[in-house]
Amino acid sequence: METGPTRMTEVSTAPHGYRIVEIPESRKDEFQRVDQLAFAFEPDAATSAQVPLTLDWSRTMAAETEAGTLAAVHASFPFALPVPGAEVPCAGLTWVGARPDHRRRGLLSAMIDTHFERSLGRGEPVSALFAAEPAIYGRFGYGSAADDVRLVIARGAALRDVAGSDDLTVRFEPLDRSVHVPLVQAVHAAAGNGRPGWIRRDTTLLRERQLADPPAWRDGGEPLRVVTVLAGETPRAYALLRRTADGGARSKVLVREVAALDAAAAHRLWSVLLDLDLTATVESGMLAVDDELLHLLVDPRAAVPKLVDNLWVRVLDVPTALAARRYSAPVDVVLDVTDTRLPANAGRWHLTTGGQGSDGAWDARVTSTTDPADVTVDVRELGATYLGGRSFAALARAGLVTEQRAGVLQGISTAFTWPLAPVCSWSF
Ligand SMILES: CC(C)(COP(=O)(O)OP(=O)(O)OC[C@H]1O[C@@H](n2cnc3c(N)ncnc32)[C@H](O)[C@@H]1OP(=O)(O)O)[C@@H](O)C(=O)NCCC(=O)NCCS
């Protein structure tokens, strides 16, 4: 395997009149202020007190004016990104914002260059994010790599039977952080086994943030409740939810997150969520597009789906990233990659699979080559395919990938896609 882009430690240049600086925790208030102006919010005292700031202060950066005013900010999380058959160090880009009076001067562009340089310097071959607006990140080489589906389901929607569901017990409780933070963490982490994109919350702050429930977030609904499905005393599934107070048995169940360890637990959990008194509908929150609920509904039309882009992925180091994930079938292909922002990725890369693991997936080697290209692909589309949720053939039909050797799309599409659809269950 060869190394892609040169490892750089210095930060890139900023537009005239600005400099890119690291932000220590002592500048926390200034940092937060920029995002409040960018995202148009102002937390009240209770919200500030109850919602932990999850930032890693060794990974917070800003664009500062010559006078020392922060004009734009960003940060990243050090994630282990689940990818097909493996996990890859990943910089989870977050808190991106420019003050409205400093926008469209190139500050985001400069911060993205800084983010790429520093991520590569830390040995993170990919970056991932949730996009506030989908039009922002494609220009920087991020590809839309996963979707989630949000269902509105009528109360009482029937489910197909699952053996063992009736043997499980259910608790419906007010949120108790001392109990539910560790319970949610344990089930969430295990529920993602084998699913690309299912990023774990690996710090205490991220775990507590997921269960934060300040009154300002309730939108007239009740405080957060936790439904737990148990086998004996062992949790097998949970839902974080609140019900609205719409009166006349017209309330909604608003689900923040669900996770289940097996089909019986998923069945038991949804059986409860779909039959709560005084409610009329359930809003599922972010589910994988192949979530078990979609297969269990007797009448799929009982659920109205909304498809939303989920993780966006930027491949920062093509050979390292492609060799770090695994493949669904043997493949031997030359990719001609374009990458205007990180030119060391550009050129022809020979990807060839070697051994098949006990899980049935294939390892791969990636080397630079002068052999003729089989497929031409921009790094943005490479990011889109990275989690196994997009097909090269489908991207070629959209004119975004070009087949240079007839017939190669069949094999490369099969190799890059993955049996479980990628999704991240929480946004960061
Ligand atoms: C998105 C945001 C960070 C962009 O910052 P910025 O400093 O104005 O961006 P830049 O000046 O570097 O713009 C770079 C390019 O992206 C484009 N762009 C920036 N924001 C865009 C948006 N929201 N939609 C579409 N294009 C956008 C610019 O037009 C520019 O295009 P060009 O290279 O063709 O000229 C800023 O507008 C902002 O804070 N928005 C509100 C918060 C937000 O959405 N943050 C993103 C969280 S994921």
Model confidence over 281-312: pLDDT tens digits? 999 999 999 999 999 999 999 999 999 999 99
CB 394 within 8 A of CB 412: no
Instruction: Tell me if 96 CB under 6 Å of ligand 1.
Output: yes
pLDDT tens for each residue of 143-165: 999 999 999 999 999 999 999 99
Distance between Cα 7 and ligand 1 center (Å): 26
Give the pLDDT of residue 11.
Answer: 52
Distance between Cα 104 and ligand 1 center (Å): 6
Distance between Cα 117 and ligand 1 center (Å): 19
Give the pLDDT of residue 13.
Answer: 83
Give the pLDDT of residue 7.
Answer: 37
d(CA 144, CA 113): 19
Give the pLDDT of residue 188.
Answer: 98
Which ligand 1 atom sits nearest the alpha carbon of residue 129?
48
Distance between Cα 98 and ligand 1 center (Å): 8
Which ligand 1 atom sits nearest the alpha carbon of residue 111?
12
Instruction: Tell me if 15 CB under 6 Å of ligand 1.
Output: no
Instruction: Tell me if 133 CB under 6 Å of ligand 1.
Output: yes
pLDDT tens for each residue of 78-135: 999 999 999 999 999 999 999 999 999 999 999 999 999 999 999 999 999 999 999 9
Give the pLDDT of residue 10.
Answer: 42
Residue among 337, 345, 348 at smallest CA distance from 317: 345
Distance between Cα 100 and ligand 1 center (Å): 10
pLDDT < 50 positions in the chain: 1-10
Instruction: Tell me if 106 CB under 6 Å of ligand 1.
Output: yes
Residue among 66, 73, 4 at smallest CA distance from 33: 73
Burial tier of 49 (Cβ tally within 10 Å: 0-12, 13-18, 19+): exposed
Give the pLDDT of residue 248.
Answer: 84
Residue with CA at minimum distance from ligand 1 atom 17:
136
Which ligand 1 atom sits nearest the alpha carbon of residue 137?
16
Which ligand 1 atom sits nearest the alpha carbon of residue 95?
47
Domains of the chain: 18-147 (3.40.630.30), 149-175+213-307 (3.40.630.30)
Residue with CA at minimum distance from ligand 1 atom 10:
106
Distance between Cα 108 and ligand 1 center (Å): 6
Give the pLDDT of residue 3.
Answer: 46
Which ligand 1 atom sits nearest the alpha carbon of residue 110?
12
Instruction: Tell me if 98 CB under 6 Å of ligand 1.
Output: yes
Instruction: Tell me if 132 CB under 6 Å of ligand 1.
Output: yes
Which ligand 1 atom sits nearest the alpha carbon of residue 94?
48
Tokens standing for residue 151: 């269902």
Q: Which of 76, 108, 311 to mutate to test the pocket of ligand 1 (most atoms within 8 A of CB)?
A: 108
Distance between Cα 396 and ligand 1 center (Å): 28
Tell me the pTM: 0.96
